[in-house]
Structure formats: structure tokens, C-alpha cells
Structure 1
Amino acid sequence: MKKKILLLDDKETIAKVVYFYLAGDYDFIYFENALKGIRWLQEGNIPDLIISDIRMPEMRGDEFLHYVKQNELFKSIPVVMLSSEESTSERIRLLEEGAEDYILKPFNPMELKIRIKKILDKDK
């Protein structure tokens, strides 16, 4: 059975690239904003990993991370943050708040795939 990845990103092109590289190995769920992702989680869906953009309308990715890590049902789900901002202070803050990894856009999809595999293989 494939592991499930939830992707939250307001850019559909990012979702298409991630899907292209990951769909063969993982089940893939995509929403263009974090509020839809939260609704999906609240319906009882538990992914093995979440990939979240930081800058999104309606709810930022860092706010989503805070929600997930403060919720007993979801706090053990690894979250990988994507950002187009090269900000060391933001990266450190998000890692301290519970993000498993922080990847800069544009990213190499093969590197993302390897990082995800390493995170998910930790559970074995």
C-alpha cells in the first residue's frame, strides 16, 4: 500500500511537478490552500506526510504548521515546508516549530523525492 502525501500550494504548476515525480511511489492529495487541507484532515484523513507552501491565500503555511503541531491528532505527521524566500531566520523558526524540512523554490524534484523518502523511511 502506497503512503499518502498531502500537498498544499496555491500554484498548480508546483502541484503538477510534484505529482509527476511522486505519484508513482505515493498516493497524492492536493489542495490549493491550507484551509481546505485542514477540512480534509478534520474529516478523518491522515496522510503520512504533508508538503506545504508558506505563502498562500486565506491561511499561510506557517499558520497551518502551527495548527497541525498543536493538534494531538495531527502533530506526529511530518511537514515539509516549501518557500521561495531564502530566509535563514524563517527556516530556523519553522524547523523549531516542528517542520521536518524546509526546501527552497525552485527545487530539484528529484531532491524533494529523496528527502521525502528519507523522512518516510524513518518510520520503518
Structure 2
Amino acid sequence: MKQILFVDDKPAIGKVLSAYLGKENELIYFEDPIRAIEWLNEGNEPTLIISDLHMPRMNGCEFLHYLKEHTLFKHIPFVMLSSEENSAERISLLEAGAEDYILKPFSPVELKNHVKKFL
């Protein structure tokens, strides 16, 4: 079973992802990227990381940069979720190492299809 780390400050989205991705994968959910980093630093290594862009204590861009700067995590595929349809920001995040950028609101089936290519 593949392990997906999902980080979003809105628990409702975590429930939606759990319903669509949790049947075939183990979904690990945190509302805070800082707690997710602590979990990763405990030796956990997910197959994929999905993160929201806008969160209070650390945003998704900072989280992405942290992961891509660390040898232990930079190889893990990273998918960014955002409600902003900002082309420059999307390009910047893809250039920083995100493998995909998905706009909210998203279709859970569409997200599942995007995620399949990284699992």
C-alpha cells in the first residue's frame, strides 16, 4: 500500500481525499506543514506529498522549498493544491520542484487520476 502525505489546514478536504484515495492508499493527514515536517524527520517516507498552498503557519511554497532543499525528501513527488488561478505562481511552483498544480475546487476523480501517475 502506497503512503500519501496530505497537508491542508481545512479538515473537510482531508476527509474528501481520504474517501477517494484512502481505499487504495494509506493517507497521512496533517493540518500544519510544520507537524508534517516533524513526521518526515522521524524517518517516515511517503510515496507522494499533496499540499495546500495557503496555510497559516507555513505556506505550501515554503513547505515545498524546505522539502526540495533536503536530500532525504527532494525525490518525493509533490502536488500542490490551490484556489488561485495564477499562472505566474503556478509556473514558479513547478520550477521550484512541484510535479503538479491542481486548482480548487477540484473533482476528486480528477485528483485521483492526477495522483495515479506518481504512485
Question: Under TM normalisation by the shorter chain, which class is it?
Answer: over 0.9
Alignment-derived partner of residue 32 in structure 1: 31
Amino acid at match of 1:80: V
1:46 aligns with 2:35: no
Amino acid at match of 1:31: F
Alignment partners' CA distance in 1, 2:101 and 2:17 = 15
Q: TM-score of the superposition, structure 1-length normalised?
A: 0.95
Alignment partners' CA distance in 1, 2:23 and 2:100 = 22
**Alignment gaps of 5+ in structure 1:** none
Alignment-derived partner of residue 115 in structure 2: 116
- Cα deviation code 1:17-41 (max 9, x no counterpart): 0110001110010000100000000
SS in 2 for 1:72: coil
Alignment partners' CA distance in 1, 2:106 and 2:14 = 13
Alignment partners' CA distance in 1, 2:52 and 2:32 = 9
Q: CA RMSD in A?
A: 0.5
**Alignment gaps of 5+ in structure 2:** none
Shift of 1:77: 0.2
Shift of 1:118: 1.2
Alignment partners' CA distance in 2, 1:70 and 1:29 = 22
The number of residues matched between the two structures is 119
SS in 2 for 1:119: coil
The residue correspondences of 1:74-89 to structure 2 (distance < 5 A) are 74-89=73-88
Alignment partners' CA distance in 2, 1:44 and 1:57 = 25
Alignment-derived partner of residue 19 in structure 1: 18
Amino acid at match of 1:85: E
SS in 2 for 1:111: helix
- Cα deviation code 1:79-119 (max 9, x no counterpart): 00000111000000000000010000000000111111112
Q: TM-score of the superposition, structure 2-length normalised?
A: 0.99
Alignment partners' CA distance in 2, 1:97 and 1:40 = 22
SS in 2 for 1:58: coil
